[in-house]
Structure 1
Amino acid sequence: MKKKGLLATLLIALMIVLTACGEGETSNGTSNSNSNTGGNSGKEQTYKVAISQFVEHPSLNAVKDGIIAALADGGLVEGQNLVVDFQNAQADFNNLQPISQKIKEGKPDVAVGIATPSAAALVDEITDLPVVFAAVTDPLDAKLVPTLEAPGGNVTGASDSNPDAIHQLMDFIAAEFPEVKKVGIVINKGEPNAVVMADTAKARLAEHGIELVEAAIANSSDIPIAAQSLVGQVDALYVTLDNTVVEAIDILLDVAHQHDLPFFTSDRDTVEAGAFATVGFKYYDHGYEVGEMLLEILKDGKNPGDMDVRKPQNLDFILNLGTAEEMGITVTDEMKAYVKDQESNIIE
């Protein structure tokens, strides 16, 4: 009996030792202590990012891709320690509130709104979680933040518009296309971002004695009629960062090519798709910058309200020489001279 009692005592002692070792090490002998465990018994913290995007088109898709890439470069990889809840409103304003409500109920670590309508819906719905916006033309006009410097509250982000870009493009039209007296624009006035940019362009063109002629639409199905209505009335076409219009940009490009109308735009992706010129940047880079802001919130614990709203700084002219001839444009050396980085921003 004494031997049995001693054996039982030794077994209990051994179990205690093994248990203590197991709590301090994983199966490969590494320590489980981790500042990101959040009390999850040694498991690395998984972050959840919810993204509401107004519509899928090249520019906004590039923003999303840039965000995901920046997070991955910062150590947050989808399928490993990152869950991405992506919601697409399909350019339907009626979808925005339900999407925002769903995101709020999912309690992500941060919610991201890509494009003004999606960002505005998130800001209206969510007050107790970080909200970051991207591809927003005028955060102040959209009432997303009260100021661009340390806006306070739970919201910050990055604007994709700099009025200087519009001014430079309108000045370019006036200087290099003296025959242009009227510029046509197809616009959805339900998008505040489009209205702000159109007003900026209109004012700048007026300084050069050029008129901006508007063809208003309610949705993308109106674009063919609106585009055709401008034929014969205008000498060139221009589009803003109007999500409804950009979603169906091929229709406007066809009209421009068929009727030899120089086509100017506010985003690089539309130039790459067949427009002639813009002053802008790569939307992937814009998204990447937003992704870096997310990392500051998620990993560094920064308060969105303490983070300044960012806007594009490295603007450049972007010309598509390959489509110029189809629009009846003779590209001169003077036009090319506007482009700072000609290797990257002159598209053959």
Structure 2
Amino acid sequence: MKKTIAIVLMMVLVLTGCASKEKSEFTVGVLNWGEHPALNASLDGMVKGLEEAGVSGRIKVEVKNANEDASNATIIASQFVSEKVDLIYAIATPSAQIALTAVEGTNIPVIFSAVSDAKAAGLVENIAKPEGNITGVSDLPPLEKQVKLMQEMLPEMKTIGILFNTSEVNSQNQIIEVKEIAQGLGLSVLEKGVSNASEIASAATQVATDSDALFIVNDNMIATATGLVVEQALKQNKPVFMAEDGQFDQGIFASDSVSYFNLGKIAGVMIKEILIDGKNIADIPVQTSDDTELSVSKEMAEKLGIEIPQSILERAAVR
């Protein structure tokens, strides 16, 4: 009799285990750091990635926006953990860092996007094999290509001006790389850090005055204020280049940008692999995309009195 009961219990446990693996519906909590085109494109791309993978009907997406506020992001991440979502999709570095802290002690995986340097941000120790409960997609821009673009369009340029958020480690690492690239090309870099949005206008004026062109790296605070930076730069008749083209229509002169929509699609595939296919997140490397889109503004060229080189016109989308 005891042997029979033991066998029955074992069968129940096996069947219960099978049922859990055959879960038909999942919930993804999306923690978006803020409202600007690149981050929104990362969200739209993820949704499209799920659709193209044929699993959107099985995955509910719950989106919450932190409005670039760490306290809001912390509350949202905690809510997702309390709700026991199946996965958190964190858009931008601060969101990913906060989400990773929130899921500590749980088995909730985190997929990030719009993170330039996951290792420097403390998200993973190994890009190729994260070995943790987090992985995702890097938006690290092709900085050498971007600096060479600036030099090609402005042959007389000597100094590149860069604004950055002093609390965003991604920005600081990009500046270090830009400096190394610039030095190799005989250029100098003037950097100016800000700690809050109220400092951007005066900082932009100072940098525009003392440089030949401004370059906006992947920095959430500065990207959100693109229009303000352009406004100050135009007063000094200086062009503004950008690492991503989500804010292009706010007065950017040129950009050779990765597609955040495509990065989001890659993240969508990762989510499908983890939730539907049962793949171990620790075995999924942080991914990047080498595809870029070169855009140049004819309107800004005319406004600044800059002639766009034929070599650029032949390969760029003129907007």
**TM-score (normalised: structure 2):** 0.87
For 1:280, the aligned partner's letter is: S
Which structure ranks higher in relative contact order (CA pairs < 8 Å, sequence separation ≥ 6)?
Answer: 2
Counterpart residue type for residue 33 of structure 2: F
- Match for residue 218 of structure 1? 195
| Cα shift at 1:199 | 1.4
2:265 corresponding residue in structure 1 = 288
Residue identity (%):
29
Whether contact under 8 Å (1:259, 1:327) holds in the other structure is no
Q: Identify the residue that residue 312 of structure 1 maps to in structure 2.
A: 289
CA RMSD, Structure 1 to Structure 2 (Å): 2.1
Shift of 1:149: 1.4
Alignment partner for residue 70 of structure 1, among 20, 39, 49? Answer: 49
CA distance in 2, matches of 1:171, 1:256: 21
Q: State how 1:128-207 maps to structure 2 within 5 Å.
A: 128-162=107-141, 165-207=142-184
Bigger CA drift: 275-284 or 189-198? 275-284
1:55 to 7, 21, 34: 34
Q: Which amino acid aligns with 2:113?
A: A
Q: Deviations over 1:239-289 (max 9, x none)?
A: 111000111211112223343212111002233443122222221111111
- Structure 1 residue 304: Cα displacement: 0.8
More divergent stretch after superposition (236-245 vs 87-96): 87-96
- For residue 244 of structure 1, the aligned residue among 194, 212, 221 is 221
Segments of 5+ residues of structure 2 without an aligned counterpart are 1-17
Q: Distance in 2 between matches of 1:248 and 1:275?
A: 12
Structure 1 contact 66–287 (Cα < 8 Å) conserved: yes
Q: CA deviation at 1:84?
A: 2.0
Residue identity matched to 1:313: D
Q: Return the letter of the residue paired with 2:131.
A: G
After alignment, is 251-260 or 277-286 more displaced? 251-260
Paired positions, count: 300
Alignment of 1:19-58 (within 5 A): 45-58=24-37
Residue deviations 1:97-155, cap 9 Å, x none? 22222221121111111101110111122142111110100011112111111221211
Q: Deviations over 1:171-227 (max 9, x none)?
A: 232344232222211210101111111111122112223221122211222211211
Indicate which of 287, 292, 303 corresponds to 1:326. 303
The whole-number CA distance in structure 1 between the counterparts of 2:123 and 2:93 is: 9
Q: Give 1:119's aligned amino acid.
A: A
Query: CA shift at 1:319, angstroms?
Result: 2.2
